Amino acid sequence: MPRACRGEYWTHRLRMLKAMGLNTVCAYLFWNMHEPRPGEFNWSGQADIAAFCEAAQAEGLWVILRPGPYACAEWEMGGFPWWLLKTEDIQLRSRDPRFLEAARRYLREVGRVLAPLQVTRGGPILMVQAENEYGFYGTDAAYMGEIRAALLDAGFDVPLFACNPTQHLKDGYRDDLFPVVNFGTDPRTAFAALREILPRGPLMCGEFYPGWFDTWGAPHHTGNTERYLADLRTMLELHASFSIYMAHGGTTFGFFTGADRPFKPDTSSYDYDAPISEAGWVTPRFEATRALFAQYLQPGETLPDVPAPNPVIAIAPTAVERVAPVLANLPRPQRDEQPRTMEAYDQDYGLILYRTKLPAGPAATLEAAAIHDIGQVFLDGKRIGFTDRRSRQYAVELPARDRETTLDILVEAMGRVNFGVEVHDRKGIHKPVTLTVGDGKPQELTGWEVFSLPLDESMRAGLKFTPANGASAGPAFWRTTVQIDSPGDTFLDLRPWGKGFVWVNGHNLGRYWNIGPQQTMYVPGPWLKPGANEIVILDLLGPEEPVVAGLKQPILDELRPQLDFSRGRRAKAPRIEFGDAAQTGEFAAGAALQEVRFAEAETGRYFCLEALSAHDGGSVAGLAELTLLDESGQPLSTQGWTIAFVDSEEREREDGAAENAIDGQTANAWRTQWGAAQPPYPHRLILDLAQPRKIGGFRYVPIQGAGEVSGRIKAYRVLIGRAPNG
Ligand code: GLA
């Protein structure tokens, strides 16, 4: 290798790709990793992308670069740096000059570091992607032109391209960016759509999904190998190019996991059920892919041997005996009349605590406009309850108080949403915070102390640990050391713990949460050393038993919904009054997007899709995506939307949750139950749009796939409703 490879396992994983039969590696860059503070750039260690490209070249791989500025990838804020949100009304992914100026500065830096490694100058970089699936987000081709110009200014002279899902190829399209299409199945339909804008020239799939990512509390995703292989074969027969997303997904370490919308935080494991597992192991899908590619080699071409897996070790169960409670380790606060978001206090990630005094008084309801993301409410240090953005629960009942009491709201920021307009995801408390007694008038709480807890190195170095002595510590850091003879990869077993973060020898392994499906955390061997190794665990709920162990196998598919503090999260159906005007119709068969425009727009807060029959005559209903349109046919923003009611959803056999209908992605879907129970038609899905909206129609994307796919709706009825008083 030309220079020391900083990502310890890069060469191993690159060799795995090559051995599977691939000739190119597509690499996202994440702006927030490379510019953690405005104008402060980081291209070293794990962020040394030039070394990564050189390592790829040394292994005989080409590189396709995907620098953003927006990436997605279930990565914190889709790769955007949090500090962009310090500008209150900034419009990301638009021609807002404040956004574009920052994006240009970043791309110029990318060019400085990577333009010399283009194929035109002897390097491995073949092509560079502009933005990412912008068609899912907007239609402004001039914005895409600005990103293109920024890449050219940065010195990129290889072909520039744009990727989009099948249904959005024309949104934001411009003919000076080569188009490629992203999909999880059914290449023929996708390429036919691509041919509408690209009559001639090479066909390419920019992202082909063998599996899918996981979110906390939802079943682990696994792909369908047979369908995957059939689709790959189709693309090989068509002489199309494709990128397997993910061929190897690995882990989202540190604070960098994102969240799907409306709000479904992603797990740290990004195993993705990819052909190369999170720890770099061969899987059956790897073998099958390699065997398929072996049939399509050029004369004289052979596949290299498969590299050996890296050593794996177990760590014997070890008691964790020292503890540093969060509330006993607070820094100096800032004072503020009203609470503001984390970004307003110049804080990037971690926890933030808001404190004020409550006078003596009767039982009351505490409520905030919003709390991002999980709030714990304490009175004089005793936990009273939780707020939870997943279910938009921002109220907690407080007991009567016979004296002045300290109110603490400890807020945990999970990853910022990485998709859709929700990337404008500010953390902490969104004011006002009010206290309401009975039916009385809400009183706004003021006079706050705000403690920033960024969980960074300097904060962790200042923690005061004491022996735990079996006492419950509430939200706390726990510390131990484990002895290791000879380091290797291991999977830390977090099942006895609640929810939080783990650092091993100072390396942040990411987030864990006992509700699963991920129960272990991947520790790469090079982060361990012979002798004593320090493990620090921040547990926000408190462990069942403070014991940590290392396993030789991961556990990525164990859901424990009974441990969720927001159990039974689906709120009870609200009372809704539906108007008489119902729109009825039939959807066409097939996978194509269908648009329905109403003769007259109707206003309401609730949108009900009633599915009356299925194309295959079965009992299952479902859909990949529902977009509502305003009077002029423009998509309405989904910000603040929730599922008001769904009569059935498959949440055990697969992730068929109703939120998949409004998460903006077409590769996953809402599906009614087809496992343990199979409730018959009709099926009802009711969206709560948070406020009354004028609705002029909607777009329906059927469950994707070739041929007749179960769950595709035929006859339907649409109703628009209001709350009884709204
Ligand atoms: C989209 C994005 C990717 C990733 C996948 C889902 O297609 O382009 O970055 O988020 O969805 O894993």
- The total number of structural domains in the chain stands at 4
Q: Based on the domain organization, do 241 and 260 belong to the same domain?
A: yes
Q: Which amino acid is at 494?
A: L
Q: Based on the domain organization, do 63 and 107 belong to the same domain?
A: yes
Is residue 310 situated within a structural domain? no
Return d(Cα 439, Cα 494) in angstroms, integer.
44
Q: What is the pLDDT of residue 651?
A: 87
Q: Based on the domain organization, do 27 and 175 belong to the same domain?
A: yes
Q: Based on the domain organization, do 167 and 241 belong to the same domain?
A: yes
Q: What is the mean pLDDT of the chain?
A: 95
Domain closes at, from 557, 585, 616: 557
Catalytic residue, from 133, 343, 449, 610: name it. Answer: 133
Q: Is the pLDDT of residue 513 over 60?
A: yes
Is residue 441 situated within a structural domain? yes
Q: Based on the domain organization, do 230 and 362 belong to the same domain?
A: no
For residue 689, the 8-state DSSP code is E
Return d(Cα 599, Cα 578) in angstroms, integer.
18
Q: Based on the domain organization, do 400 and 355 belong to the same domain?
A: yes
Q: What is the mean pLDDT of residues 514-541?
A: 98
- CATH code for the domain in which residue 449 is found: 2.60.120.260
For residue 37, the 8-state DSSP code is B
Q: Based on the domain organization, do 611 and 692 belong to the same domain?
A: yes
Is residue 195 situated within a structural domain? yes
User: For 331-367, what is each residue's pLDDT tens digit?
Assistant: 999 999 999 999 999 999 999 999 999 999 999 999 9
User: For 577-605, what is each residue's pLDDT tens digit?
Assistant: 888 777 899 999 999 999 999 999 999 99
Is residue 572 situated within a structural domain? no
Q: Based on the domain organization, do 443 and 467 belong to the same domain?
A: no
Q: What is the pLDDT of residue 125?
A: 98
Is residue 235 situated within a structural domain? yes
User: For 475-492, what is each residue's pLDDT tens digit?
Assistant: 999 999 999 999 999 999
Enter the pTM of the model: 0.93
Is residue 141 situated within a structural domain? yes
Q: Is the pLDDT of residue 606 over 60?
A: yes
Q: Is the pLDDT of residue 570 over 70?
A: no
Return d(Cα 148, Cα 647) in angstroms, integer.
46
**In the chain, % of residues over pLDDT 70:** 98
Q: Is the pLDDT of residue 571 over 70?
A: no
Is residue 467 situated within a structural domain? yes
- Which is the closest atom of ligand 1 to the Cα of 207? 7
Return d(Cα 651, Cα 658) in angstroms, integer.
9
Burial pattern 195-207, b for ≥16 Cβ within 10 A else e, equals: eeebeeeebbbbb
Q: What is the pLDDT of residue 619?
A: 97
Domain closes at, from 402, 433, 453: 453
Q: What is the pLDDT of residue 2?
A: 37
For residue 192, the 8-state DSSP code is H
Is residue 1 situated within a structural domain? no
Centre of ligand 1 to C-alpha 106, Å, is: 22
Q: Based on the domain organization, do 180 and 244 belong to the same domain?
A: yes
Least confident of 390-394, 524-528, 671-675: 390-394
Terminal Cα-to-Cα distance of the chain (whole angstroms): 66
Q: Based on the domain organization, do 269 and 365 belong to the same domain?
A: no
pLDDT band at 724 (very low <50, low <70, confident <90, very high): confident
Tell me whether residue 133 is one of the annotated catalytic residues: yes
User: For 652-676, what is each residue's pLDDT tens digit?
Assistant: 888 899 999 998 888 889 999 999 9
User: For 491-507, what is each residue's pLDDT tens digit?
Assistant: 999 999 999 999 999 99
Catalytic residue, from 74, 131, 207, 610: name it. Answer: 207
Contact 108, 154 (CB under 8 A): yes
- CATH code for the domain in which residue 133 is found: 3.20.20.80
Contact 445, 338 (CB under 8 A): no
Least confident of 163-172, 328-337, 414-423, 465-474: 465-474
Can you list the pairs that 190-196 forms with residues at least 24 positions away whose Cβ atoms lie under 8 Å?
190/166, 191/238, 191/240, 193/166, 193/167, 193/169, 194/166, 194/169, 196/169, 196/170
Return d(Cα 74, Cα 438) in angstroms, integer.
42
Q: What is the pLDDT of residue 79?
A: 98
Q: Using alpha carbons, select from 411, 414, 349, 423 the residue that is nearest to residue 386.
A: 411
User: For 280-327, what is each residue's pLDDT tens digit?
Assistant: 999 999 999 999 999 999 999 999 999 999 999 999 999 999 999 999
Tell me whether residue 207 is one of the annotated catalytic residues: yes
Centre of ligand 1 to C-alpha 471, Å, is: 44
**In the chain, % of residues over pLDDT 90:** 91
Q: Based on the domain organization, do 209 and 64 belong to the same domain?
A: yes
Q: Based on the domain organization, do 208 and 340 belong to the same domain?
A: no
Q: Give the range of the structural domain holding residue 703, as residue numbers without chain letter.
A: 577-722
- For ligand 1, residues with CB inside 6 Å are 72-74, 132-133, 182, 207, 213
Cα 231–232–235 angle (5° rounding)? 90
User: For 180-196, what is each residue's pLDDT tens digit?
Assistant: 999 999 999 999 999 99
- Which is the closest atom of ligand 1 to the Cα of 28? 9
Centre of ligand 1 to C-alpha 79, Å, is: 12
Q: What is the pLDDT of residue 632?
A: 92
Give the pairing of strands 382-388 and 374-379: antiparallel
Domain closes at, from 526, 557, 588: 557
